[in-house]
Amino acid sequence: MVVAPLAAGREGSLRELLDTMNSAPGMADPGNTILPFGAFERLHFARLVLLDDPTLADVEAYGLRPSKAPLCLAFMGDCDGPSRQTLAAMSQRAEAGLRSVFAHCEGFDAHGDLLTWMLAHDTPVAANYVNWVGRSVLQIKQESALQRMLSARVGRRPLASGTEARAARRSLITFVEEEKRAGRLALTPPERTPLRWRIAKLVNLIAVPLAGLIALPLLIVLLPWLIYLLRTRETSDPEICPRPQREALQTLQDLEDHEVSNQYTAIGTLKPGRFRRWLLSVLLVLVDYSCRHVFTRGYLARVQTIHFARWVFIDDKRRVVFASNYDGGHQAYMDDFINKVGWGLNLLFSNGLGWPRTRWLILGGARIEQSFKRYQRRHQIPTQVWYKAYPGLALVDLKRNQRIREGLERERMSDAQALAWLRLL
């Protein structure tokens, strides 16, 4: 995530410039002249957002003075392969456009190297979630084309027997082969994960539990004290969940529901003190770990509607930015949050200032429906420019299309498997 403070007096013209990138409110035109997102084949999602935090004054509840954080521009995206590679491609192909955007930032050197500047402003992501690790934009688009093709082709009549189902599948396989040969369809085999990534993943897989193991004795000794710290805070931390301003809410809603997916960007301050800071840092390491090794196949606990999500510390770890791309409407997203992963939300976000009261870190909190809903809307900020590479496709589509392709490429299938496969079409 590239984050840079704006130069004084440049906010208005930046907002105007960002608006020119859109074809509908907040919806990026894939071919816009500033940054033609559609030209980058490895890019799934991207957004440009002004981190304009409406809740800075909340620290007054602790008798603290609000910090005068400068207004920052954030640029983030989700791509296949190293992000550096995509940034490099962008700085080559859309140099003028990107320069015109970042020229609104403080200290941007119009003559310096663009990529170097962006990398220098790259803020590390504390935790990152990917719905299906390794599923590339190319794969998604090719499999969608395959699904459409097969769905139009398949005979929609009852099959008398399993043998007939297998025969139907075989004829579809032949059909696909012909289409491939005719150049009307491509199914590129997945790229191999680079060795360096696999090693890094393995190291991470071992290192985190190892560090945990080493810290365990200390943790056990400290546990009563930590519980005391947590419980005293949980029972006295102020809840700050007033209704969001109507105009602010309207601005957010104007940007939503133009597509089957939506974006969500939120910002907030951590509760003051080292305890929360450490707790959240450790928890985000654990969340990142589980997203990297456990929740890599289409679900984050029970939630199956999030494409990508990330948590980023900013402002010297005093504040956090959360950004996600999800399927369906905002109400449904909140419903999933409360009913499916309220516990997980509490684990992380209860370290944020003003969160509805939790018990034992996972209970209460987001389950206090009305307070939670006001809280999350109040902390949400408008995403000025948002891009999605495969409009119209939701995660249920991606998963089904993937299963169609897998079934197509399987050597052998039983009668029942062939029938189940045909029923996907």
Query: Please, which residue, 47 or 388, has the CB nearer to another protein?
Result: 388
Can residue 258 be called a binding residue for another protein (CB under 8 A)? yes
Q: Are 143 and 405 in contact (CB under 8 A)?
A: yes
Distances from the Cα of 245 to the Cαs of 249, 353, 381, in angstroms? 6, 18, 12
Q: At 53, give phi and psi (nearest 5°).
A: -85, 110
Query: Please, which residue, 277 or 293, has the CB nearer to another protein?
Result: 293
Can residue 249 be called a binding residue for another protein (CB under 8 A)? yes
Q: Are 132 and 292 in contact (CB under 8 A)?
A: no
**What are the structure tokens assigned to 143, written together?**
């499999």
Q: Distance (Å, rounded) from C-alpha 326 to C-alpha 330? A: 9
Q: Distance (Å, rounded) from C-alpha 94 to C-alpha 98? A: 6
Query: Please, which residue, 226 or 408, has the CB nearer to another protein?
Result: 408
Can residue 41 be called a binding residue for another protein (CB under 8 A)? no
Q: Which residue from 275, 335, 408, 417 is in contact with another protein, where contact means CB under 8 A?
A: 335
Task: In angstroms, give the least distance from the CB of 241 to another protein.
Answer: 10
Residue type, 288: D
The pattern of x and - marking residues 191 through 230 that bind another protein according to CB under 8 A reads ----------------------------------------
Q: At 246, give phi and psi (nearest 5°).
A: -60, -40
The pattern of x and - marking residues 381 through 400 that bind another protein according to CB under 8 A reads ----------xx-x-xx--x
Query: Please, which residue, 235 or 331, has the CB nearer to another protein?
Result: 331
Can residue 253 be called a binding residue for another protein (CB under 8 A)? yes
Can residue 425 be called a binding residue for another protein (CB under 8 A)? yes
Can residue 302 be called a binding residue for another protein (CB under 8 A)? yes
Can residue 157 be called a binding residue for another protein (CB under 8 A)? yes
Can residue 171 be called a binding residue for another protein (CB under 8 A)? no
Q: Which residues, numbered 395-424, are part of the site for another protein (CB under 8 A)?
A: 396-397, 400, 419, 422-423
> Of the candidates 239, 244, 242, which has an alpha carbon nearest to the alpha carbon of residue 355?
239
Residue type, 132: W
Q: Which residue from 186, 329, 409, 414 is in contact with another protein, where contact means CB under 8 A?
A: 329
Q: Distance (Å, rounded) from C-alpha 119 to C-alpha 122? A: 5
Can residue 247 be called a binding residue for another protein (CB under 8 A)? no
**Residue 130: how many other CB atoms lie within 10 Å:** 19
CA 19-20-22 angle, to 5 degrees, is: 70
Task: In angstroms, give the least distance from the CB of 272 to another protein.
Answer: 28
Can residue 359 be called a binding residue for another protein (CB under 8 A)? no
Q: Are 139 and 188 in contact (CB under 8 A)?
A: yes
Give 269-331 as a DSSP string: EBPSSHHHHHHHHHHHHHHHHHHHHTS-BS-BTTB--EEEEEEEEETTTTEEEEEEEEES-HH
Task: In angstroms, give the least distance from the CB of 129 to another protein.
Answer: 13
Q: Which residue from 159, 187, 230, 362 is in contact with another protein, where contact means CB under 8 A?
A: 159
Query: Please, which residue, 319 or 405, has the CB nearer to another protein?
Result: 405
Q: Are 57 and 354 in contact (CB under 8 A)?
A: no
Backbone Cα Rg of the chain = 24
Count the residues of the shown chain that bind another protein, applying the rule CB under 8 A. Answer: 52
Query: Please, which residue, 31 or 155, has the CB nearer to another protein?
Result: 155
Distances from the Cα of 242 to the Cαs of 212, 372, 382, 385, in angstroms? 39, 10, 19, 27
Can residue 295 be called a binding residue for another protein (CB under 8 A)? yes
Query: Please, which residue, 89 or 133, has the CB nearer to another protein?
Result: 133
Q: Which residues bind another protein (CB under 8 A)?
A: 24, 154-160, 165, 243, 246, 249-250, 253-254, 256-260, 295, 298-304, 327-329, 331-332, 335-336, 338-340, 367-370, 391-392, 394, 396-397, 400, 419, 422-423, 425
